[in-house]
Structure 1
Amino acid sequence: MATTTDSVASAEAPMEESAAEAARAAARARESSRFPYRTIAMGVVGSIVMLLAAPGAAGTLVRDPIIGTGPLSWMRYGHGHVLSTAVLYVGFALVVWAWVRLGRYVLAGRIGTKPILVAAFAWMAPLLIAPPLFTRDVFSYLGQGAQLLHGLNPYDYGPAALDVLPDVVQNVHPLWQTTPAPYGPLFLLVAKNVVGITGNNMIAGVILTRLVLLLGLAGMLWALPRLVRHLGGRLPVTMWLAVASPMTVIHLVGGPHNDLLMLAFLTIGVWAALEHKHALAIALVTIGMLIKPTAAIALPFLVWVWANHLPGEESLFRRFVKAVTPSLAIFGVVFTAGTWVSLGSFNLGWVTGLQAPQIIANWLNFPTGLGEVAHTLVNFVVDVPVSPFVTVARGLAWMALLGVMVWQWWKARHGGREAILRMAITLLAVALFAPPTLPWYLTWGFVVASAFAWRRIHLAAMVAVSVFLVLVYYPTGEQSLYDWWFIIGVIAASLYGAASLWKPDPLGLVAAWRRRGDQFTSDTEDTPQTGRESEHPTTPTSRATS
């Protein structure tokens, strides 16, 4: 009898475990269907605050038709400008806070992709009509597009040579007034058509540029889920990292930056290569290169993917030759046609224009920073100029970078995921070691890498990097890298943001504030629990500190 009872019990145990597991799965499904309304709303409030402060603190116009000398002109001068800047940073903090909260929900499996995309679009929407944030590059885009529109070669002259559209010309940063364009001819064709529509209206030009660049975001959104299936990542993590992050919301859209358009062709091209659509992949990435030349770095890696997809038992060398030959032919045709269509001739002046950004020197570029440190040490002993130190450091870095690129390319020779990972690493290496290094350049590698699997500690590091890379430039677009006290604050804020991905309120500041408030609240004043679910991804009792 005991044996029979034990048998029944042992048979029922798996059934109970199965029912418990089903119940847990159903609970997880219900949990993941909840929508983080308050978190999204927090980010929307932050974006609106940034929009309202931007006319006084961001990349404002020389002749502003909205503020001008009217009653709001105080926002652009003196204490008004300081107040506007402080308010804009408050808005930025709210956006970052919302993004980190969203990340905790993602890591806890509480939300899927839809809330992340809704949050990203909601945070971007107010910034579509804001003045340029943390950059003034869009004014250069319009100036160079105006040159092409009026028959002046942007690769021979800077916008200052243009004698029409005065508002467009005078708003280009002084550094770029006499500098040839460093962008691909296809993007200048885009800028030319924008200026052809908006003319001398700078506000309309900035807004229309953003709307055009959103096509790049659409391309990324199409490609990333497909890349995740190939590269082994989690789609919510990828979307949180590549689409909802401050690097995309504030830099690429709020900026805006043409990197967003290039990334669309890059990500779709990588997907096409993994899907055995190799001719399409080479063509798409070549088009991306005609927008932002650095996309060309991906091409040699895609050749390895093609070579490894070829059938047969031939040697790696033979398969490589079979892949590189059509790749070069496709590249040549697309490159020639794209340049001709954009410029009306096969003008390679844009290749030499790539040297123009190298006039930017700051320690965000690793070799430049090393050169400046060496100069500082030597300068304690003897007064010497900084340029030789920076030049030598950059020269050595170029040689080291070339070695890294060749090594990563060779490590990619087996194709597949490994080739794409090596490609992302190389894109990041180029952004860091090839002058100049500008914050949004790191999106080249990050967006591709976001489709891989990530550990939580690495995602926390990405929070710190993302916050840092936005704040190292002032909202006006000028760098803050040599304002050392400010940079110390930026580093502290970045580390706090990273720690917040692990634990809400890591320093206990909100909890301390609540405890202090509780001293003034009697037990009879406590409100009963409403039963509303907390948005916190782990424990419902920690809503107040999240």
Structure 2
Amino acid sequence: MAHPEALDGSNAPAHATVIAKAARTAILQGFIGSLLMVVGSVGVGWLASSSALIRTPLFIMARTSPVGVILCTVMLCLGALLLLRSWLRIAQRIGGWNGSAHPVLRRALWMWSVPLMFSLPLFSRDSYAYIGQGRLMEQGVDPYTNGISALSNYFSLGPDKMWTEAPTPYGPLWLWFEQGAVWLSAGVPEFALVPFRLAALAGVLLLAVYVPRLAALHGVNPERALWLGVLNPVLLFNFIASAHNDSLMLGLVVAGLYFASVKRPVLGIVLITASIAIKPITLIALPFAGLLWAGARAGWGRRMICWTATLALSMGLLAATGMVNGLGFGWLGALQTPGAVWIWYAPVGLLAHTAGFVVGLFDGPGVPVTDVIQTIGTAVSALAIVWLAVRTPGRGIAMRAPTDGESEFNKTVLRRMAWAFAAVVVLAPVIQPWYMVWLLVFFTVTGIADGPQLRTVFYLTAFFTLIALTDQLSVFPWIPLAVVRGVAIAIAVLFIAYLVFYDKKTHVLFRPRRGILKFKPKP
């Protein structure tokens, strides 16, 4: 899966110099794109309703007039799409995937990420829900049974109305972090955002360290994995620009899986448990961590012991945190919170709500039909997790048999885990863009081949970039949202069509040919 050397016979230092020069334009283009996104966020990024920034001349000019909002929307879209093109081009400019590419990719990660740390929250206002949940914790209100609407003047934070009545779906470690962020900021929303951005950056840094290491354990090129799984613009948009806690959740679980793979299971399980204590979806990783602990030659007896020990250690740590904060395992009851909505491109959500709508047209039980279909999807995903965890590794989805070596066994286990997460995502009624990032990282560390698999990543990256740019834009009620969204859709669709069909450099990547190998930098 690794690409051959771009320069035959060149030594490492010369190659490092050549690829650094070759990638310079792509890195700079992405840096400019990130800066444009920061400027655009002034007009359409999310602000707390009570923010003092809205009363400053710059924000008044950018947010209160149609011209200012549309101009900021144009800059945001062009910036994000430039970053998408830069990500595609940097792989072409590097040419060969060897150790000399690592510092170039690391430089690109810093130059693309650091500007986004200074933007207003983009594409999501979950960070304001985090602040509200932190205030609930400060006031001693159980966030597992109360939404942030229990706060006085909660609307001044500007959270998504969809979640104001819903209990928090996050674990106890994240609740403590939210409480600490609110305490440190003295209740000022702009200051409270800083810890969340730092947590998101920490998650990306963990991924930058452990995705290449975990990939290398499985014979997958680590530099290519770093580019494909960590520098992906959808990851940067949703983890850095949006400040989602999924960043730290994913970074911790990947680090935990790495240590479990190198036979440090206790440390690995502790890290995975920390990930669960941020967002409990990573409970899915526990049975697969138990398999890594058991090893390639383990029989059913040893597997059962390792599964039991993994569960006992993880649940023991979670029980201890529940005792300390007095909330116990309250997060279990809130696990269904994200499933309370649906989205049109989620197959199960679309099927369930279309069927319910049709049945309702004929005076039938439309809502129960919708609920039954969504429940079936959840049940099938749960069965898929069990099947993938207990079936003998080495026989099944996309993996060769047998798995005699420890490395191949570990690769098989993690590939099955990736499919388990995929089952949960695909069979859910809602698929958020950052769910794609989970799957991208899990599949990357076990290998995404050139050809159809890599092109699928390119198309999904383009699609979820389009979704991000056209979904959640913060626009005042007197600004015509349809016009602003229409501008965003037009720019995004035209730019992506250009990349796919007309751009002489990038269109080859979306066709059935190995476009990345076509460019060879010259010394």
TM-score normalised according to structure 2 size: 0.83
Q: 186, 191, 212: which one pairs with 1:199? A: 186
Q: 142, 150, 157: which one pairs with 2:131? A: 142
1:344-371 deviation line (CA, Å, top 9, x unaligned): x252222111222222221232201122
Shift of 1:505: 5.0
Match status 1:464 vs 2:459: yes
Match status 1:432 vs 2:426: yes
Equivalent position of 2:401 in the other structure = none
SS of corresponding position for 1:128: helix
Equivalent-residue separation in structure 2 for 1:53 and 1:486 (angstroms): 12
Change (3 A) 1:386 1:127: farther
Equivalent position of 1:94 in the other structure = 82
Match status 1:117 vs 2:106: yes
Equivalent-residue separation in structure 2 for 1:21 and 1:37 (angstroms): 21
Equivalent-residue separation in structure 2 for 1:413 and 1:487 (angstroms): 45
Equivalent position of 1:105 in the other structure = 93
Contact between 1:234 and 1:452, CA under 8 Å: does it hold in 2? no
Equivalent-residue separation in structure 2 for 1:396 and 1:44 (angstroms): 45
SS of corresponding position for 1:367: helix
Match status 1:448 vs 2:447: no
Equivalent position of 2:158 in the other structure = 171
Shift of 1:53: 1.2
Change (3 A) 1:394 1:201: same
Contact between 1:231 and 1:452, CA under 8 Å: does it hold in 2? yes
Equivalent-residue separation in structure 2 for 1:250 and 1:23 (angstroms): 36
The amino acid across from 1:392 in the alignment is V
Number of residue pairs matched by the alignment = 484
Equivalent position of 2:23 in the other structure = 36
Equivalent position of 1:422 in the other structure = 416
Change (3 A) 1:340 1:365: farther
SS of corresponding position for 2:343: coil
Equivalent position of 2:505 in the other structure = 504
Change (3 A) 1:453 1:536: closer
Contact between 1:242 and 1:447, CA under 8 Å: does it hold in 2? yes
Equivalent position of 1:236 in the other structure = 223
Q: 320, 334, 359: which one pairs with 1:353? A: 334
Q: 390, 400, 422: which one pairs with 1:410? A: 390
1:164-187 deviation line (CA, Å, top 9, x unaligned): xx5785322212222211111110
Equivalent-residue separation in structure 1 for 2:462 and 2:8 (angstroms): 39
Change (3 A) 1:505 1:240: closer
Contact between 1:100 and 1:497, CA under 8 Å: does it hold in 2? no
1:47-71 deviation line (CA, Å, top 9, x unaligned): 1111111121122332332242635
Shift of 1:135: 0.5
Shift of 1:196: 0.7
Structure of greater Rg: 1
Give unmatched runs, 5+ long, in structure 2: 1-6, 395-408, 475-480, 509-515
Match status 1:82 vs 2:70: yes
Match status 1:221 vs 2:222: no
State the superposition RMSD in angstroms: 3.3
Bigger RCO (CA 8 Å, 6+ sep): 2
Contact between 1:287 and 1:338, CA under 8 Å: does it hold in 2? no
Give unmatched runs, 5+ long, in structure 1: 1-19, 508-534, 542-546
SS of corresponding position for 1:472: helix
The amino acid across from 1:506 in the alignment is H
Match status 1:263 vs 2:243: no
The amino acid across from 1:105 in the alignment is R
Percent identity (aligned): 25
Contact between 1:365 and 1:432, CA under 8 Å: does it hold in 2? yes
Equivalent-residue separation in structure 1 for 2:22 and 2:370 (angstroms): 51
Shift of 1:329: 2.3
Change (3 A) 1:148 1:33: same
1:493-530 deviation line (CA, Å, top 9, x unaligned): 556546789x61539xxxxxxxxxxxxxxxxxxxxxxx
1:465-486 deviation line (CA, Å, top 9, x unaligned): 1232233144673699xx9998
1:122-144 deviation line (CA, Å, top 9, x unaligned): 11111111111110011111110
Contact between 1:367 and 1:394, CA under 8 Å: does it hold in 2? yes
Equivalent-residue separation in structure 1 for 2:355 and 2:419 (angstroms): 27
Shift of 1:190: 0.7
